[in-house]
């Protein structure tokens, strides 16, 4: 690799690494309550139309 390419790669990773980590942390931290919690809420009658489908909810079958 040329010197310019090496500098380019280094700059990319100095930006990409922390950005991806921050994105990952944000996505995990902002997760909604788990489906089990939703079901308990629905049973209490506060949310009769829970978003949990009979199939198990979005992504439950992934």
Partner 1 sequence: MSVGYVPVQWNRHKRVYDLCVAVAILLYLGVFFAIGKLVYTGRRAISDEILAMRALGTCALLLLHLILCIGPLARRDSRFLPLLYNRRHLGVVTFLVGLAHGVLAIIYYHGFGRVNPLASLLLSNTNYTSLSAFPFQVLGLLALIILFLMAATSHDFWLKNLGPAAWKRLHMLIYPAYGLLILHVALGILQTHRSPWLAGLVAAGVIIVSGLHIAAGLSEAGRDGRRAAAASTGSERRSDAPQNDANWVDVGSVDDLSESRGSAICVGDSERIAVFRHNGGVSATSNVCAHQGGPLGEGKIIDGCITCPWHGWQYRPADGCSPPPFTEKIATYRVRVVHRRIEIDPTPLPPGTPVEPARVDADAPSESENG
55 contributes a contact to partner 1 by CB under 8 A: no
**Separation between Cα atoms, residue 45 and residue 9, nearest integer Å:** 55
Cα–Cα distance for residue pair 44/7, rounded to 1 Å: 59
**Sites for partner 1 among residues 11-50 (CB under 8 A):** 12-14, 16-21, 23-28, 30-32, 34-35
Quote the CA–CA distance of 24 and 28 in Å, as a whole number: 6
| Closest approach of partner 1 to the CB of residue 55, in Å | 11
Contacts with partner 1, residue ranges (CB under 8 A): 1-3, 5-7, 9-10, 12-14, 16-21, 23-28, 30-32, 34-35, 57-62
């Amino acid at each position: 690799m040329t010197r310019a390419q090496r500098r380019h790669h280094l700059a990319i990773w100095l930006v990409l690494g922390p950005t991806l980590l921050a994105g990952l942390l944000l996505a995990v931290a902002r997760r909604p309550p788990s489906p089990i919690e939703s079901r308990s809420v629905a049973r209490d009658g506060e949310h009769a139309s829970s978003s949990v489908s009979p199939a198990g909810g979005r992504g439950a079958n992934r």
